[in-house]
Structure 1
């Protein structure tokens, strides 16, 4: 029944999530947005989270379910697959049906009648700002929604890991020197200032994290050669001339063209795959590949980076000043040193354990800043 939950974190996050979706949908309506989702009431959010959490801890034939729930009626979906009889929204049902819906892009449609929630079927099509609840792994749930332009990674609203709740901080985009990649991932102001080209960096970050081998991606200004002063030469896998497939795809960008989207995904996954090779992958801010497997060196005459600002874009994740060695391993230290020496560059670091950090230079604080963003990439 709606509002009957036993998972404490579901009660803690439900109202926050409702307020977020209400705010986004209201803003979209004010600029004449169409194809908008229904605001999910807190009681329904709580019930969906409760069922999904307990399902995530169950196993079916030795496997834990990985699935996605979307709150919408069938009429808001294109070509929905509808069950002849509604299924009860319960952990037992979700565990049983899980193996059939774990592929990316498939959502179980959830709606209500009176005080009861039910699963009406499956869909690949959902409206803008539709409430989506992903079961990523046992005990790990992510609340997210589709971007208004409908292309690219969904925007995360909150991450629940057991009894720990991380609510994405909408004010993180207002911090001085907030990196464009972080701004894009947060997506809160995408209604008016969303720059679709930034989405490439988001997709690269997601793809880097997904190969689970760890890696470094250095993004340097187009036309600049200064970055070479921070790389050990000869570079083992230098590319010459620069490989420009991704850059050329962006020049003929067409978000509505499914063939273009497929080409983009393949090119992004190929680029991210290079980061699995030991060393750093280097690209321009126009997405041209300069090389991979590069070893980062301290620039001649430069001092070792001694401290940096560490932040996480979640409520309670305020900035702290720390030593680079305490933020991660060798990759993190090398990336921090690179940005310290090449202040117009950024470094993206994926760890094998799933952590993901963006390093950039803060002109306000005159030091390296490290934004840990794995909570946004799930």
Structure 2
């Protein structure tokens, strides 16, 4: 039988996660979606989190494990790699297997039979809304699920770091001034309302965070040069004509976007643009995905006041908006991004810190000030 967990946070969060997956799958069935992954009960969620947490604190040949667990049966996986013998779900087994399954996209399959959880093999293909548990670093676990569309970053449900639990607030995207990229990151929209242009920004955010050097990406209206009043000119790395490889990909027919060749090309272009954000200064793209410049130095445009306060929110349950001076929200990148959006209210600024923190700055017409959305929990 499933043993009682010794990680207190697992017991606390399991019922909440159980409810989330049950509701998400019920909504998906009402929309007529099929081939959904099984929704795990709380006792299974608790056991998975407990085993993964203790495994995260172990080391194999001096390395901390990075693994991804997916709850589904072998029959529900596509082209699975099957172990000849089932392995009990233990922190010891997870640690031993970790070096061979740490590459992105590989999931260790977990299933339950006769009250026992076991590891049955690995898979790269999982069903929609499949429960996935990632071990990102020692003590840091992320519960997520595959999007119904099957492409792009998985939707995060909860983040656990030691005894700190953050449950994603699925209603954060209903704020009237919430930028569309937040709706996509939260992952609670249906495929029918999916915005492909926003999906690009999501993938850019993930890639920016992944290179670990920090950076700023400015998204400005296509066809307007007003934003240039907020950067030092001449720009050392201005692009003429605008580089349109990413834009060209997004203009292809939607039926082509399900093909692996197109998806691979999109990832390469996204990584190329995101890589430029590691250069000192800001990278600038249009809202039509054309690359306009990188290494741009942000300044306060003539006639505009210094930004004195911003509202900061985080899309997790229990988080309340706070109004702070922008210097209290981060370093130079955050301050300059807030000033840029203050001066260019039709733009968005995305800032990655070297420590993994990620903030999206947009103008809030309701608060009449810059809105800083802390989205670290959505990008893990």
Indicate the residue corresponding to 1:20 in structure 2: 20
Distance 2:43 2:262 in 1: 40
Indicate the residue corresponding to 1:175 in structure 2: 175
Could you give the per-residue CA deviations for residues 101-125 of structure 1, whole angstroms, max 9, x where no partner exists? 0001100000011221000111011
Using the size of structure 1 for normalisation, the TM-score is: 0.99
Could you give the per-residue CA deviations for residues 126-169 of structure 1, whole angstroms, max 9, x where no partner exists? 00000000000100000000000100000000000011000000
Indicate the residue corresponding to 2:59 in structure 1: 59
| 1:130 is aligned to 2:148 | no
Gaps of 5+ in 1: none
SS of corresponding position for 1:36: coil
Question: Following superposition of structure 1 onto structure 2, how do residues 49-88 of structure 1 map, counting pairs within 5 Å?
Answer: 49-88=49-88
Distance 1:219 1:341 in 2: 13
SS of corresponding position for 1:170: coil
Distance 1:97 1:355 in 2: 30
Could you give the per-residue CA deviations for residues 66-87 of structure 1, whole angstroms, max 9, x where no partner exists? 0000000011111111111100
Gaps of 5+ in 2: none
Pairwise CA distance, 1:224: 0.8
Pairwise CA distance, 1:192: 4.4
Distance 2:116 2:67 in 1: 21
Could you give the per-residue CA deviations for residues 316-374 of structure 1, whole angstroms, max 9, x where no partner exists? 22211111000000000000000000000000000000000000000011000000001
Using the size of structure 2 for normalisation, the TM-score is: 0.98
Question: Following superposition of structure 1 onto structure 2, how do residues 315-326 of structure 1 map, counting pairs within 5 Å?
Answer: 315-326=317-328
Distance 2:220 2:147 in 1: 27
Could you give the per-residue CA deviations for residues 9-52 of structure 1, whole angstroms, max 9, x where no partner exists? 10111111111111111111111101211111010000000000
Pairwise CA distance, 1:189: 2.3
| 1:281 is aligned to 2:272 | no
SS of corresponding position for 2:345: coil
Indicate the residue corresponding to 1:246 in structure 2: 246
SS of corresponding position for 1:132: strand
Contact 1:187-1:194 within 8 A present in 2 as well: no
Contact 1:3-1:46 within 8 A present in 2 as well: no
Indicate the residue corresponding to 1:332 in structure 2: 334
| Count of aligned positions | 378
Contact 2:214-2:352 within 8 A present in 1 as well: yes
SS of corresponding position for 2:21: helix
